[in-house]
Amino acid sequence: MKRLFVSLAMASVLSGVLLASGGSSLPPPPTTGPPNSSGSPEFASLTPEQQAALSYNDGLKHQAKADALLKDAAAEAADAKKHDKLAAQAKKEYDKALRDYKSATAKNPKLFQAFGGMGYAERKLGNYDAALSAYDHALELEPRYSPAIEYRAEAYLGLNRLDDAKSAYTALFAGDRKRADELQAAMKSWLEMRRKDPAGVASETIEEFSKWLTAREEIAGQTSAILPSKGDRW
């Protein structure tokens, strides 16, 4: 997800902007100045749309910090005390990110990126149903928002909804190969985890998914040279 930029000097001309980047047909984000914190004294003087953008940016900062902490926690898997401490810190940052994303959507109900952020934070906190609801809303606002398609599919995996995850992969493979590759990696992780702990998933379902994933990997390998990834447009 990309940061949304606002400038106090441009406060009168930036309201109501839907923000995206890259080669889409949506308007590009304003880039006239550095981002400001939602806790700054000037925050109250901004329009609701500009306040939403700043809250969204704050959410991204907490999300990035949480992701880094979670990665560090995984690296400390052999030390339960260190792992648990880092994981707890990550959870606090995801909670903060979720708070900021909710604030952004309250200020600007059309800010689909913030709904996507809500889904991301909810998913990382293990709240899969809430994550799906947020992703669904983001995609109602902007059906082309591929990050929400990919992350929603990861939530489907968390709920063992394999057919829904497969459908998302097929859609991404046709429209955003970079995101499709990310989902493929998440699927491989799911498969490894379920082989260790099925968590109620039937063994034949796991092996059927393994065969499907192997076939998709072969197709991806065959087409990667002639269909380069479009990259992340958002």
pLDDT in 10s for each residue of the chain, 234 residues? 656 655 433 333 333 333 333 333 333 333 333 445 777 778 888 999 999 999 999 999 999 999 999 999 999 999 999 999 999 999 999 999 999 999 999 999 999 999 999 999 999 999 999 999 999 999 999 999 999 999 999 999 999 999 999 999 999 999 999 999 999 999 999 999 999 999 999 999 999 999 999 999 999 888 865 555 455 555
Cα dihedral sign, 38-143-136-223? negative
Q: Which of 48, 67, 32, 195 is nearest to 114 (CA)?
A: 48
- Write down the pLDDT at residue 223: 80
- DSSP class of residue 33 equals S
120 φ, ψ to 5°? -60, -50
- Please state which of the four CATH numbers 3.30.70, 1.25.40, 2.130.10, 1.10.8 is assigned to the domain occupying 45-134: 1.25.40
- Write down the pLDDT at residue 29: 39
- Write down the pLDDT at residue 204: 96
Burial of 88 (0-12, 13-18, 19+ CB in 10 A): exposed
Cα(53)–Cα(82) distance, rounded to whole angstroms?
Answer: 35
**Residue recorded with tokens 């400038």:** 7
- Write down the pLDDT at residue 1: 61
Helices (H), 108-223: 112-124, 128-141, 146-158, 162-175, 177-196, 203-223
- Write down the pLDDT at residue 26: 36
Cα(221)–Cα(223) distance, rounded to whole angstroms?
Answer: 6
Domain segments of the chain: what residues? 45-134, 144-234
Q: Which of 40, 69, 67, 66 is nearest to 53 (CA)?
A: 40
Q: Which of 28, 21, 57, 30 is nearest to 233 (CA)?
A: 21
**Token representation of residue 198:** 């099925």
- Write down the pLDDT at residue 202: 96
- Write down the pLDDT at residue 7: 44
Count of C-beta atoms within a 10 Å radius of residue 175: 14
- Write down the pLDDT at residue 5: 52
